[in-house]
């Protein structure tokens, strides 16, 4: 099992979350679990935890033009940071 933790800021969380929930590319990627968190002191500071079984498929999605476009459409305001790890 692999995990990706992605963190970035967005213009407005509610608008971003609406697009996130219906993003076809994310749904088709078939991740086993995806969770969204916001910072206690800033609801526009977002962390997404994604678990997946297939590293190649996960990385293909995380590096896809589809995801880049969805992030732009959703109002991501900065380059995300990415942590990629093995679930122990």
At 36-45, the pLDDT tens digits run 999 999 999 9
The CATH number of the domain covering residues in 2-80: 3.30.70.100
Predicted local confidence at residue 28, as pLDDT: 76
Predicted local confidence at residue 47, as pLDDT: 97
CA distances 36 to 49, 56, Å, are 6, 22
Predicted local confidence at residue 6, as pLDDT: 96
CA distances 48 to 1, 10, 73, Å, are 16, 12, 17
Predicted local confidence at residue 64, as pLDDT: 92
Q: At what angle do helices 13-21 and 65-73 cross, to 10 degrees?
A: 140
Predicted local confidence at residue 36, as pLDDT: 96
pTM of the model: 0.87
* Sites in the chain below the pLDDT cut of 70: none
Predicted local confidence at residue 13, as pLDDT: 97
Q: Is 17 helix (H, G, I), strand (E, B) or coil?
A: helix
Structure tokens at 69: 């476009």
Contact 58, 2 (CB under 8 A): yes
């Amino acid at each position: 099992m692999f995990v990706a933790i992605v963190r970035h800021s967005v213009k407005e969380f509610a608008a971003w979350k609406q697009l996130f929930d219906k993003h076809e590319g994310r749904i088709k990627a078939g991740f086993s679990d995806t969770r969204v968190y916001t910072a206690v002191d800033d609801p526009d500071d977002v962390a997404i935890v994604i678990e997946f079984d297939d590293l190649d498929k996960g990385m293909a999605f995380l590096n896809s033009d589809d995801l880049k476009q969805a992030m732009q459409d959703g109002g991501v305001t900065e380059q995300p940071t990415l942590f990629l790890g093995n679930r122990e």
